[in-house]
C-alpha cells in the first residue's frame, strides 16, 4: 500500500490524486521521448541503408596514423 504524507488541509485522497497526476505526466513525457528516439533511430537506419546501396563514401574519413 502507498504511504502518502497528508498535510494539513489536504485529504489522503487528494494527495493520491495529485501523485497519480504527476505519474501520468511523467509517463506521457517518457512516451514522447521514446517516440522521438524511435523515429530518429529509424531515420539513421534508413540513411545508413541508403548510403550503402549507392556506394556513397562514409561521412568521415579514416584518420592517418
DSSP code of residue 3:
-
pLDDT digits (tens, 9 = 90+) for 12-58: 999 999 999 999 999 999 999 999 999 999 999 998 888 776 555 66
Query: What does the pLDDT read at residue 17?
Result: 97
Query: What does the pLDDT read at residue 8?
Result: 77
**Whether residue 4 has pLDDT greater than 70:** no
pLDDT digits (tens, 9 = 90+) for 13-26: 999 999 999 999 99
* DSSP helix/strand/coil, 48: helix
Q: What is the pTM of this model?
A: 0.57
Amino acid at each position: 500500500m502507498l504511504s502518502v504524507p497528508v498535510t494539513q488541509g489536504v485529504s489522503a485522497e487528494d494527495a493520491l490524486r495529485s501523485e497519480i497526476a504527476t505519474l501520468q505526466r511523467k509517463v506521457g513525457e517518457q512516451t514522447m521521448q521514446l517516440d522521438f528516439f524511435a523515429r530518429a533511430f529509424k531515420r539513421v537506419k534508413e540513411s545508413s541503408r541508403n548510403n550503402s546501396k549507392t556506394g556513397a563514401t562514409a561521412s568521415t574519413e579514416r584518420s592517418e596514423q
